[in-house]
Structure formats: structure tokens, C-alpha cells
Homo-oligomer: A and B are copies of this chain.
Amino acid sequence: MDQNKEDRLEGAGWRVGNAEDFLELTPEEAAFVELKLALAHFLRDVRMQQGWTQAQTAKRLGSSQSRFAKMEAADASVSVDLLVKSLLGLGATREQVGQVIARAA
């Protein structure tokens, strides 16, 4: 979000922040959820890149459509383990996973 938009929103009575502020997370907790979100987003990218549905992809991984949806949503009930295993299972490399975590991509 650019600065102008922030200003306009705040001027209109909104407070602009992030998950950290709103949920009062510690910096580590915030970093952790951001990291999870990055993996989840990448998982969606990988799937879409192949033109697959959630159901297809889940099956390929030995999971279910509902769980896969939660993975892509970075639901609280999905672990980083599951995200990483799923990405590797879909053919992503360790390097790619690392880059996504490091924010580089």
C-alpha cells in the first residue's frame, strides 16, 4: 500500500496497520506468519502455473481439497512442515523454497 492511500484512509477515520499490530503479535510471531503466508502464496502460484485445481493437486499430494484450500490460505491449522512438504512434493526445489522464505521471490 502506498503512502498516499494510507494517508487518505487514516484521514477518513481508518487505522492502517498489519497483522502484527492488530493481533498484538511479537516481532517473531509476525515474521513467522509472514513467512507462512509467503509459502502459501507460492504454493498457489505453483499450482496455477500448472493449471491445476485444488482437488487435483491435493490428490497428487495424498491430501484433500479442503486441506489444500487451507494451505493456500495459510490457515492456522496448517504447519510450515506441511507447506514445505507439499511444495517439494509438487516439484519445487529447496532453493526455491529458501528464496521464497528469504523474500527474494
Copies of the protein in its oligomer: 2
Shortest CB-to-CB span from A31 to chain B, Å, is 5
Residues of chain B with a CB closer than 8 A to A32's CB = 84-85, 88
Shortest CB-to-CB span from A52 to chain B, Å, is 17
Query: Closest chain B residue to A96 by CB distance?
Result: B102
Interface residues in chain A, defined as those with a beta carbon under 8 Å from any beta carbon in chain B: 28, 31-32, 34-35, 79-81, 84-85, 88-89, 93-104
Sample of 14 A–B contacts (CB below 8 Å): A28-B89, A31-B88, A31-B94, A32-B88, A34-B94, A35-B97, A79-B79, A81-B81, A94-B103, A96-B102, A98-B98, A98-B103, A98-B104, A102-B102
